[in-house]
Homo-oligomer: A and B are copies of this chain.
């Protein structure tokens, strides 16, 4: 994982734009539904982002983990809370998730609020 967060986000945005402009209504609607799933409902946005992070973790999708790490920090989860969620990933998903947890730790180095020193008292 030598790509920087910034590069990941640029490529992601660029391709999302191409996909949304491709003219397929079903895909467009699914992207909208995906977005809405994390908006305020019976559950709050903050809780939902952590659900998204754990779902991405156990399904072992690095790009999805990166996305939800960034959003989780924006919603106010701190480093220790995110690490506690990654422990749930590890226990539910087993050692096969370790490489993804490793990359999550590497990614957190780039995210304000989740950096290694973030919870240092």
Report the bound CA distance from A55 to B26 in whole Å: 18
Chain B residues near A97: list those with CB within 8 A: 94
How many copies of this chain does the complex contain?
Answer: 6
List which A78-118 residues lie within 8 A (CB) of chain B.
78, 80-81, 83-99, 101-103, 105-106, 116
Q: From the candidates B51, B78, B90, B102, name the one contacting A54 in the complex (CB within 8 A).
A: B51
Identity of the chain B residue whose Cβ is nearest the Cβ of A24 in the assembled complex: B83
Identity of the chain B residue whose Cβ is nearest the Cβ of A12 in the assembled complex: B102
Other than A22-B105, A52-B88, give 12 A-B pairs with Cβ distance below 8 A: A12-B102, A19-B101, A26-B37, A27-B86, A33-B33, A37-B88, A50-B51, A52-B92, A55-B58, A56-B92, A59-B92, A60-B61
